[in-house]
Structure 1
């Protein structure tokens, strides 16, 4: 029997955490043995990682939000979703925090989604005035599986070794930014993001409430080189950390 390989749409669903848990696990298993598909997945994940911090902060023309949602959601007759602002007032002004509730993990779509549409969706969230997270929620499915691409950054892990996300340095308008991603299923608490610098100092980069769908925070990188990123609870306990 000829081996079936996933298409770009299905790989992008995995990158965004839109696949049901069982389907995501099966696809991750396939990627562990199929190098061509893994390379394709890595390329998509890297592109998404670059698109998010590069999203421009501009006011959209009238009808822009409706057009973006029409491009990404299924045709009339399917269940539609909404875009919901979320965030925390303690987050830094320069951080970008976007929450998007999108369509659940269907393996096929009448219209192919592109990375340009994904960038438009990121822009939609930013223009709603929320400020660094892209969170995808599948209302008809359970919370997205904790699946992410480690090549997009340094693994973010709890003290007992559980991998919960990634941390990476990127650039926005020639300014270095820090991108911290936490997978779905760990929400409900507020975390402070701290950077331990090479010079021994510790700086606080922001403080946010983590939604259960997962989140990505984009914030200006500290002036000095950061050696370690930590997410700390309200009791000053390190919940997870990444060594850059």
Structure 2
């Protein structure tokens, strides 16, 4: 496979294309969100019942609210104690494992969008294509790699945004072109330098729309939450040309 960078399309075209894919797959968007949140919160409740970290944080903040500003030192000390505990480590690890397990579910949308382009029949099994064979371990490993670096730089203001943008196309490059993680990042970086404004604007729109459903329509967030994948695919299709 080779990549080419054609004449830049308009941002409006990319957005319209993303919303087209999203609108054509609303049933799958809803199914994705139901599966994702059901598994995630079921696992979270089990982890919380097992290690009780949420209750510890809640108790620490409740004591602080009762004491007031003068209790800030005690709060910071309590939070530091909680975060240094083995239960906190196990909780964080558990959430990471669940998130990594769910991540390949996103790859199913790339399969579905490609089938729409090819005018092929979309099937329910397409949503789970990321779990086929060794693909699951490739995508789950990539998520863990991505997550560790993200959390390492999360306390900065700009670097997390940069990390998201330079890894935006790694998953579709792995999926469609069988690229490695580092090959994908290298190609992503080249694309970012040429399409920085388009990628930045579309990323901002995708993030806003992804969560606006929960903020405004509550249950409607189940439909807007997976929109991110439609935007990535729309950008990917414009920027990268696949050749056998």
Higher relative contact order (CA 8 A, sep 6+): 2
Flag the structure with higher helix content: 2
TM-score (normalised: structure 2): 0.25
> Quick check: which has more Rg, 1 or 2?
2
Flag the structure with higher strand content: 1
TM-score (normalised: structure 1): 0.25
